[in-house]
Amino acid sequence: MPENNRQPDCPLPLGNYDRIVLAHGGGGRLMHQLIDSILLNAYGDSLLADSPDSTAIEVEGTRLSVTTDSYVVRPLFFPGGDIGKLSVCGTVNDLAMSGAKPLYLTVGMILEEGLELEELREIAKSIGETAREDGVRIVAGDTKVVEKGHGHGIYINTAGIGIREHGQMIGPSKVEPGDAVILSGDIGRHGIAVMAAREKLPIEPPIISDCATLWKSVERLLNAGIEIHCMRDLTRGGLGAAVVEIANSSEVRVELVERNIAVSEAVRGACEILGFDPLFVANEGRFVLFVPEKDVLRAIDALSEISPDIKPVKIGSVTNESIGVTLQSLTGMERAVQMPSGEQLPRIC
Amino acid sequence: MPENNRQPDCPLPLGNYDRIVLAHGGGGRLMHQLIDSILLNAYGDSLLADSPDSTAIEVEGTRLSVTTDSYVVRPLFFPGGDIGKLSVCGTVNDLAMSGAKPLYLTVGMILEEGLELEELREIAKSIGETAREDGVRIVAGDTKVVEKGHGHGIYINTAGIGIREHGQMIGPSKVEPGDAVILSGDIGRHGIAVMAAREKLPIEPPIISDCATLWKSVERLLNAGIEIHCMRDLTRGGLGAAVVEIANSSEVRVELVERNIAVSEAVRGACEILGFDPLFVANEGRFVLFVPEKDVLRAIDALSEISPDIKPVKIGSVTNESIGVTLQSLTGMERAVQMPSGEQLPRIC
């Protein structure tokens, strides 16, 4: 998740840390504090705080969206994808979530001395293939090499430029009581697929990452004339972090119903063994969609038959009772869903 | 230097390497082979090969330039700058070299566990300050954290978007016999400043990096109506690599005169001790400019008085005798300047 959804005007203390810890990159509270108190203050540019996944700019009347993301996943290859595919999907999806049609990508690689050229070849192939799926062109690239022991095979940064051809304003500020929350498919697969590959967990058959580009889904929603209030892809921090962020930004209450949130048996089992809550496990091809209740059926219809992997379901609704997120559990109990601090989040990117 | 000046249609063998070596990132022949034979083939997108420092795109009639660069410099702080300043200058300069006015930057950071927050604060401050110098806005950011031993404090990727408001075609294809080559100031300072800081060389007073943005220089040239055939900033590979690349792309001969190429006494002395040729040492605020002979005086005039650091001098001319670069040495001897393979290049980025 890019950092452009942070509020620059409310710097927060960085707790007791005077050095970077892993949790600063986990997608939780610590990361948000780091971005607010150090980066946004220094950049002094309000554009960063305006929109969630990508930033809207206008150049000579052309409405563009811009985003960037770095990819540091280990291992480099996992069931369902690799770091190359991921580096295209993640950035394309950030553009798509603002309703922008992805047009151009830049690709910066930091290679570690010792990386096998054959691996690089595979990764580059994935980048090219995934970009072509959505007709995205790679327009600029850069390659650096760092000494052995100062990288992890390959780190990739991609930046994306898209065009907003529609007239809709899409973002948390549009979310309002009466909206429904739609989830595009089952959750937790990417995070567990990567962790299983990294830790060599004996899960058979292997769990396949949901890694995929979401532009086609968004294009269908736009073409169907759905009134899209907000979309968010469920990467670092998973469904839980995404919905908490939107609820907080929108100053609404989101009530989720657990039984409508699809989690495969395999993911649920792995989460139980590993001690993770699937709600906070990362995905790379899933998103939530906030639409007015009246558009729910048409939205679900528009998203159907794109791929067997996409099974849109209404998982909750927006009220104005108080700010935050609640989850009605399988047993009917209601609990508050809160932003994890970062330490508890599984590190998969 | 971004990789978009490579030719995708002439894949070259990768020598005897089946793994990445440091020289693959050195800016020499090996890097070019890597990009040609692996990356461009896989991306399958001709836009990458069209232009040198940044890529020209057109979105709904708006003429944009796009570029990306990753920064892995060690140490993070050096006389005259830090990795933050560098990450703005490098990318802004790649835009400026195509004659594009830099508008927007994205900033992706890969932080290593253990980095001091105070250092991050300094670096972020440099990014903000340097961007504001040219009125460039930071529009998107991303922060990842990697485990200790898998980074080097901080790696930064920036991507830049600029607008080409002028009607000139600027690039190696415009270089022709009769052109003059202008160098914007003394060379070798950035590379030596970084190496001296890294190796703790006892150079007193310290050599200050020339790290600076070049947009103001380019703006003056454009405003003065100079017919700009080609510009190139002299980063990895230095003046030597830049001019060899342009000569090869343009299929011309560039004849340089060594006595006109300014090298400070301190840099010359350090190069002699370290065994480097200043011609191939990296700079971060220097560029070469190819203009028709008739425009030389006006170009030098336009570049004057921008800063005490900028001292434009004609250093050579273009002929059609054969393809390549020659240097008339201080003793009057003429020698061929060739692209170093990468192993011989000082690693400073």
Q: Is B13 on the interface with A (CB under 8 A)?
A: no
CB-CB: which of A23, A103, A142 is closest to B59?
Answer: A103
Contacts of A140 in chain B (CB under 8 A): 2, 4, 48, 54-55, 66-68, 159
Query: Are the Cβ atoms of B145 and A26 closer than 8 angstroms?
Result: yes
pLDDT number for residue A131: 96
What ipTM does this complex have? 0.90
Given CB atoms, is B120 within the 8 Å cutoff of chain A?
Answer: yes
User: How far, in whole angstroms, is CA B245 from its chain's centroid?
Assistant: 12
pLDDT in tens, B284-331: 999 999 999 999 999 999 999 888 889 999 999 999 989 999 999 999
pLDDT of residue A162: 97
Alpha-carbon distance of B346 to B26, in angstroms, equals 8
Give the pLDDT confidence score for residue B341 in this predicted structure.
65
Nearest to A157 among B47, B67, B157 (CB): B157
CA proximity to A97, closest of A69, A60, A59: A69
- Residues of B (34-73) whose Cβ lies below 8 Å from A: 34-35, 38-39, 41-45, 47-48, 54-55, 57, 59-62, 64, 66-72
Q: What's the fold here for domain B55-163?
A: 60s Ribosomal Protein L30; Chain: A; (3.30.1330)
Mean pLDDT, to the nearest integer, of B152-176?
94
pLDDT at B239 over 60: yes
Chain B 197-216, residues with CB within 8 Å of chain A CB atoms: none
Which of B68, B50, B72 lies closest to B160 in space, CA to CA?
Answer: B68
Fold of A53-163: 60s Ribosomal Protein L30; Chain: A; (3.30.1330)
Nearest to B143 among A34, A110, A151 (CB): A34
∠ CA B29-B30-B34, nearest 5°, is 120
pLDDT tens-digit readout, B166-213: 888 899 999 999 999 999 999 999 999 999 999 898 888 999 999 999
What is the chain B residue with the closest CA to A57? Answer: B139
Distance from CA of A179 to the nearest CA of B (A): 28
Residue B7's pLDDT is what?
39
Please answer yes or no on whether B145 and A18 come within 8 Å at the CB atom: no
Q: What is the mean pLDDT of residues B116-132?
A: 96
Of B39, B67, B139, the CB nearest to A66: B139
Residue pair A341/A29 in contact by the 8 Å Cβ criterion: yes
User: Which residues of chain A lie closer than 8 angstroms to B121, CB-CB?
Assistant: 38, 42
Instruction: Measure in Å the smallest separation between the Cα of A334 and chain B Cα atoms.
Output: 34
Contact present, A57 and A64 (Cβ < 8 Å): yes
- To test the contact with chain A by mutation, choose from B86, B143, B347 the residue with the greatest count of A C-beta atoms within 10 A, namely B143
CB pairs under 8 A between A and B: 288
Which tens digits make up the pLDDT trace of B248-264? 999 999 999 999 999 99
A20 and chain B: CB distance < 8 Å anywhere? yes
Instruction: Please give the distance of CA B95 from its chain centroid, rounded to a whole number.
Output: 11
Whether B48 sits inside 8 A of A138 (CB atoms) is yes
B4 touches chain A (CB under 8 A): yes
- Whole-number Cα distances in Å, B153 to B83, B105, B118: 11, 22, 12
For chain A, where do the domains classified as CATH 3.30.1330.10 start and end?
Answer: 53-163
Does A111 touch chain B if contact means CB atoms closer than 8 Å?
yes
Nearest-neighbour CA in chain B from A184: distance (Å):
25
- Of all residues in chain B, the percent with pLDDT exceeding 90 is 73
Mean pLDDT of chain B: 90
Residues of chain A with pLDDT under 70: 1-15, 45-46, 49-52, 341-349
> Is pLDDT at B157 greater than 50 in this prediction?
yes
Considering CB atoms only, which of A19, A55, A108 is closest to B140? A55
Q: What is the DSSP string of B155-179?
A: EEEEEEEEE--S----SGGG--TTE
Beta bridge partners of A287: A233
Strands B313-319 and B334-337: unpaired
What is the location of CATH 3.90.650.10 in chain B? Answer: 172-337
Superfamily of domain B172-337: PurM-like C-terminal domain (3.90.650.10)
Q: How confident is the model at residue B3 (pLDDT cuts 50, 70, 90)?
A: very low
Res B342: pLDDT? 59
